[in-house]
């Protein structure tokens, strides 16, 4: 059985995917503003990053040696993109996504959300796993069928954006930045 996803295209709403897939209003408005500022661009280069970090609230740090209450440990997750050679950037927190690969894929997804149609788009990422997963997904026979892939929903979204916007996407591996503030 073939998996087919119909992609409605409404010429009046170029922000259809942001409006459909992004929840918090602040993030949605900021992404639309960024996307609108890039409408006339035909080539883009972004750095993307997703992260998952264990964080301990400052009021517990002194007590760590005595007793560690695992319920008090906070896991911070985020995703970000930065446009090369400008000060354009976006970052957000992610909830309920306890995976560094998902955070990296989400950062790439966010960058694709603001990319204009018919654009040559280079994404620099330190996640080789994300590059391999996206490449494998896009080359699979059933591009929009999620069987056999972890993080399938985000991969489907990435595939829809590339197809709908007719993007020429190049994913480039860069050295990891462990320890950067």
Tell me, what's the pLDDT at 47? Answer: 92
CA dist., res. 149 & res. 138, Å (int): 11
pLDDT digits (tens, 9 = 90+) for 71-116: 444 456 778 888 887 888 888 877 766 778 888 998 999 999 999 9
Q: Which CATH code fits 16-59+69-173?
A: 3.30.420.10
Tell me, what's the pLDDT at 5? Answer: 53
How confident is the model over 64-72, as a mean pLDDT? 43
How large a percentage of the chain has pLDDT more than 90?
A: 28
How confident is the model over 111-138, as a mean pLDDT? 93
The pLDDT of residue 61 is above 60: no
Tell me, what's the pLDDT at 177? Answer: 65
The pLDDT of residue 131 is above 90: yes
**Residue 174: closest CA among 84, 62, 56:** 84
Tell me, what's the pLDDT at 174? Answer: 92
In the chain, where the domains are located: 16-59+69-173
Contacts of 39 (CB under 8 A, 6+ apart): 14, 116
Average pLDDT, whole number, for the chain?
Answer: 77
Backbone angles phi, psi at 22, to 5 degrees: -105, 130
CA dist., res. 89 & res. 12, Å (int): 26
pLDDT level of residue 29 (50, 70, 90 thresholds) = confident
How confident is the model over 147-165, as a mean pLDDT? 86
């Amino acid at each position: 059985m073939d998996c087919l996803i119909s992609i409605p295209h409404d010429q009046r709403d170029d922000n259809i995917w942001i409006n459909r897939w992004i929840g918090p209003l602040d993030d949605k408005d900021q992404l639309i503003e960024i996307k609108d500022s890039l409408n006339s661009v035909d080539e883009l280069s972004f750095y993307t990053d997703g992260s998952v970090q264990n964080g301990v609230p400052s009021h517990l740090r002194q007590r760590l040696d005595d007793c560690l209450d695992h319920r008090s440990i906070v896991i911070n997750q985020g995703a970000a993109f930065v446009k090369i050679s400008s000060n354009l950037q976006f970052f957000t927190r992610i909830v309920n996504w306890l995976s560094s690969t998902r955070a990296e894929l989400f950062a790439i997804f966010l960058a694709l959300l603001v990319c204009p149609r018919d654009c040559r788009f280079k994404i620099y990422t330190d996640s080789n796993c994300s590059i391999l997963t996206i490449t494998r997904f896009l080359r699979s026979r059933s591009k929009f069928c999620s069987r056999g892939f972890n993080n399938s929903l985000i991969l489907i979204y990435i595939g829809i954006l590339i197809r709908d916007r007719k993007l020429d996407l190049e994913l480039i591996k860069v050295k990891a930045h462990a320890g950067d503030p």
